[in-house]
Amino acid sequence: MSFVKLTDNVYVVIGGAFPKCNSIVIIADELVVIDPGCPVEDLRAFLMTQDLQLKDINTIILSHIHPDHITHTARLNRLSKCRITANEITAPLFNDKEEMKRFLGFDKGNPVRKLWEQLVNERMYGALDEGRVDEIVINADKFSLGEVTLRTFYAPGHLPDHMCIEILEPNLVFTSDIDMTEFGPYYGHPNSSILDFKESIRKLQHGKYNGLISGHLKEPLVIDYKERLAAYSRQIGLREDLVLAAIMDGAKSIPEITANPIIYPSLTNPVFLQFETWMIEHHVASLIGKGLVEDHRGELKAV
C-alpha cells in the first residue's frame, strides 16, 4: 500500500496505471473518496492508518464513467451507505450500465463487447455492478467540507463526461485522466474528441494552481504542470504525423494503418485493437478536416 499526503486533510492512495487509478481521500467534515479505482485493500489499509474504516466513507465523487475510475463505487456504497456524486452526463450512465456500454462504444452490435466485459470483470471487478447516483453536479459546483472546498471543472475530450476536481485549499486540481503519463492522451472511444482534449489541456495550462494531481502517475503531484502538459499535448501531434506518414506510404484504410500499431506498441488483445482503431479514426478525421487527407470512395489518400 502506498499513499501520498498532500495536506493534513488530503491524501492520494496510489493505484497507478490502468486498470487501476489513483484515488483521492479527503478527511474533513466528511470522509470523501474521489474515483475509488485503487486496490480496495490498499484503500482499507490507508484508512486504518487514520483510525477509519471503509464503512466510514460518507461520499464518493466520480470524475467520469470509465471502469477503472468507478471500480469499487457500488460495493463501497453497499458497505457504507455513502452518497454517490457524479456530473449530469456521468450519472445516468452509472445508473444504467447498458447505457454506459453504449456510451463507450460497446453496444450490443460491437463484436468485441463480450471481450471488453470480460476485461472489465477480470481486471476492474465491480465496475459493472448496479448502483445509483444520489447527487448530480454541474460545472463549477462547490462542495464545502469544512477545511476543504471542492469545485467541479468540466474537461471533456477524453470522454464527453470527463471532469476535474479542484481542491481550493491548497489550490490543487485532480485532473483524473488528463494524467500526464508517458502513454499520452487517451481518446479511444467514438465520442472522444481530440479538439476538446486539447482545449481542456489548454485551460489547465492557463490555470494558476499550486499543482496538478494525476489519476495514474505513481508520483501523482505535478508541480511543473505547464511544461508537463505541453509535452503531453504534443504527443497528439506526433501520433497524427505517424498516421499521415502511414497514409503517404500507401495505407488506404484504417485496418491497413492499424496493421502497424501507432498508439499501442503491441496489440495482444482485440479490445485494445478496438481502442487503437477508434483513436486512429479520430486522427484520420482530423487530417481530412485539415485538408491533408482525402477519403476517395472509401480509400484514404494523402493530398
* Domain spans of the chain, in order of start: 3-223, 236-302
Q: Are 14 and 22 in contact (CB under 8 A)?
A: yes
Tell me the per-residue pLDDT of 221-277, one tens digit each, with 9 for 90 and over: 999 999 999 999 999 999 999 999 999 999 999 999 999 999 998 777 899 999 999
Q: Going along the chain, which residue ranges are E strands?
A: 3-5, 10-13, 23-27, 31-34, 59-61, 83-87, 135-137, 142-144, 149-154, 163-167, 172-176, 211-214, 221-222, 293-296, 299-302
Phi-psi domain of 148 (left: phi exceeds 0; alpha: psi -120 through 50; beta: other): beta
Cα–Cα dist 73/82, whole Å: 9
pLDDT category, 44, cuts 50, 70, 90? very high
Q: How far is CA 172 from the centre of its chain?
A: 18
Bridge partner residues of 13 (DSSP): 3, 23
Count Cβ atoms within 10 A of the Cβ of residue 7 and give its class: 0-12 exposed, 13-18 middle, 19 or more buried: middle
pTM, entire model = 0.96
Q: Which set of grid coordinates corresponds to residue 247?
A: 497514409
What is the model's pLDDT at position 246? Answer: 98
What is the model's pLDDT at position 148? Answer: 97
CATH of 3-223, one of 3.40.50.300, 3.60.15.10, 3.40.50.1980, 1.10.3720.10: 3.60.15.10
Q: Are 192 and 158 in contact (CB under 8 A)?
A: yes
pLDDT category, 167, cuts 50, 70, 90? very high
Q: Which set of grid coordinates corresponds to residue 98?
A: 447498458
Kindly report each contact of residues 4-8 with a partner whose C-beta sits within 8 Å and lies 24 or more positions away, as own/partner: 4/219, 4/220, 4/221, 6/170, 6/172, 6/213, 6/221, 7/169, 7/170
What is the model's pLDDT at position 173? Answer: 98
Which residues neighbour 106 within 8 Å (Cβ) at sequence distance 6 or greater?
A: 112, 113, 116, 117
Secondary structure of residue 31 in the 3-state scheme:
strand
Residue tagged 449530469 (cell numbers) = 88
First to last CA, the chain: 53
Tell me the per-residue pLDDT of 129-140, one tens digit each, with 9 for 90 and over: 999 999 999 999
Nearest one of 226, 228, 143 to 185, comparing CA atoms? 228
CATH of 236-302, one of 1.10.287, 3.30.70, 1.10.10, 3.30.420: 1.10.10
Q: Which set of grid coordinates corresponds to residue 50?
A: 487514520
